[in-house]
Structure 1
Amino acid sequence: MMNPSPKTSISAENAYIASCVIITMMSRPDFVEKQVLCLESTDAKRLSFRNSNLVLTDENGKIALQHSCHKIFVVFIRGEFTITSALLKNAKRFCIPLVFLNYSLRAYLVFNAGTEGNFLLRKMQYSCKYETEIAKHVITNKICNQLRLMQSIRYKTKSEKVSVQTMQDLLKSAQSVRSSQDLLGIEGTASKLFFQTYFKNMGFKGRKPRIKSDMYNVLLDIGYTYLFQFIEANLNLYGFDTYCGFYHKLFFQRKSLVCDIIEPFRCIIDRRLRTSYNLKQIREDDFACSQNRFELKRDSAKKYTELFLRTVLEHKEDIFLYVQSYYRAFIKKKEIRQYPVFDIGGVE
Structure 2
Amino acid sequence: MFTHKDIEMRTIFVVNCIEHDRSLRVNSGELMLEEFEGDKKKTLTKFPFQKLLALFIIGHITVTTPLIDKCKKYGVALVVMKPNLRPVFFWANSAEANYLLRKRQFEYSTEDLSIAKCIVYNKMLNQKAALAKTRKKDSYTVDAIKQCDAALVTLPDVDEYNQLMGLEGTVAKTYFSAYYQNQNWRGRHPRMKSDVLNVTLDIGYSILFNFMESFIRMFGFDLYVGVYHRLWFKRKSLVCDLMEPFRCIIDHAALLAFNRKQFSEKDFTLIKQEYHLKYEKCADYYRVFYDELIARKMDIFKFVQQYYRCFMGCKSVKEYPIFEF
Scaled by the length of structure 1, the TM-score of the pair is 0.78
Any conservation in 2 of the 1:49–1:90 contact (CA below 8 Å)?
no
Contact 2:85–2:210 (8 Å) recurs in 1: no
User: In structure 2, what is the Cα distance between the partners aligned to 1:182 and 1:91?
Assistant: 50
Match in the other structure for 1:28: 7
Match of 1:127 in 2: 107
Q: Distance in 1 between matches of 2:198 and 2:164?
A: 24
Deviations 1:204-259 (A, max 9, x none): 22222222222222322222223222222222222111111100111122111111
1:310 pairs with 271, 288, 291, which one? 291
Q: Distance in 1 between matches of 2:261 and 2:175?
A: 22
Match of 1:338 in 2: 319
Where 2:78 maps in the other structure, the secondary structure is: coil
Alpha-carbon distance between aligned partners in 2 of 1:207 and 1:21, rounded to the nearest angstrom:
38
> Aligned pair 1:75/2:57, yes or no?
yes
Q: Would you say the 8 A contact 1:48–1:86 is kept in 2?
A: no
Q: Which residue of 91, 113, 121 maps to 2:91?
A: 113
State whether residues 37 and 74 of structure 1, in contact with CA within 8 Å, keep that contact through their aligned partners in structure 2: yes
CA deviation map 1:121-178 (0-9, x unaligned): 1111111247410000110110111122223333432343233323322232323210
CA contact (8 A) 1:47 1:87 kept: no
2:74 maps to 1:95: no
Number of positions where the alignment pairs a residue of Structure 1 with one of Structure 2? 313
- Could you tell me which runs of 5 or more consecutive residues in structure 1 were left unpaired when the two chains were aligned: 1-19
SS at match of 1:247: coil
Residue correspondence of structure 1 range 153-164 to structure 2 within 5 A: 153-164=134-145
In the TM superposition, what is the alpha-carbon distance from 1:50 to its structure 2 partner?
5.5
> 2:253 corresponds to which residue?
272
Counting aligned pairs with the same residue, the percent is 32
* Matched ranges for 1:218-257 at <5 A: 218-257=199-238
1:160 aligned partner, one-letter code:
T
The question of whether the paired residues in 2 share the 8 Å contact of 1:74 and 1:96 is answered with yes
Deviation at 1:35, TM superposition (A): 2.3
RMSD between aligned residues: 3.1
- Aligned amino acid, residue 300 of structure 2: I
SS in 1 for 2:142: helix
Counterpart among 246, 261, 264 of residue 242 in structure 2? 261
Distance 1:205 1:69 in 2: 51
CA distance in 1, matches of 2:34, 2:279: 21
Mapped partners of 2:290, 2:70: distance in 1: 21
CA distance in 2, matches of 1:298, 1:92: 35
User: Given the alignment, which residue of 142, 146, 165 partners 2:146?
Assistant: 165
Matching residue within 238, 262, 268 for 1:281:
262
SS at match of 1:325: helix
Is 1:321 equivalent to 2:302 in the alignment? Answer: yes
CA distance in 2, matches of 1:219, 1:62: 39
Q: Is the 8 A contact 1:98 1:111 kept in 2?
A: yes
Q: Which runs of 5+ in 2 are unaligned?
A: none
CA distance in 1, matches of 2:31, 2:162: 48
Which has the larger displacement, 132-141 or 203-212? Answer: 203-212
Q: Distance in 2 between matches of 1:265 and 1:309?
A: 13
Deviation at 1:113, TM superposition (A): 1.6
Asked whether the 8 Å contact 1:325–1:340 carries over to 2, the reply is: yes
Contact 2:151–2:171 (Cα < 8 Å) also in 1 = yes
Q: Which amino acid aligns with 1:128?
A: Y
State the distance in 1 between where 2:112 and 2:145 align: 29
Contact 2:224 2:231 in 1 (8 A): yes
Q: 2-side partners of 1:190 and 1:238: how far apart?
A: 32
Q: Structure 1 residues 179 and 30 mapped into 2: Cα distance closer, same or farther (>3 Å)?
A: farther
**Aligned counterparts of 2:305 and 2:174: Cα–Cα separation in 1:** 31
Counterparts of 1:253 and 1:90, CA distance in 2: 31
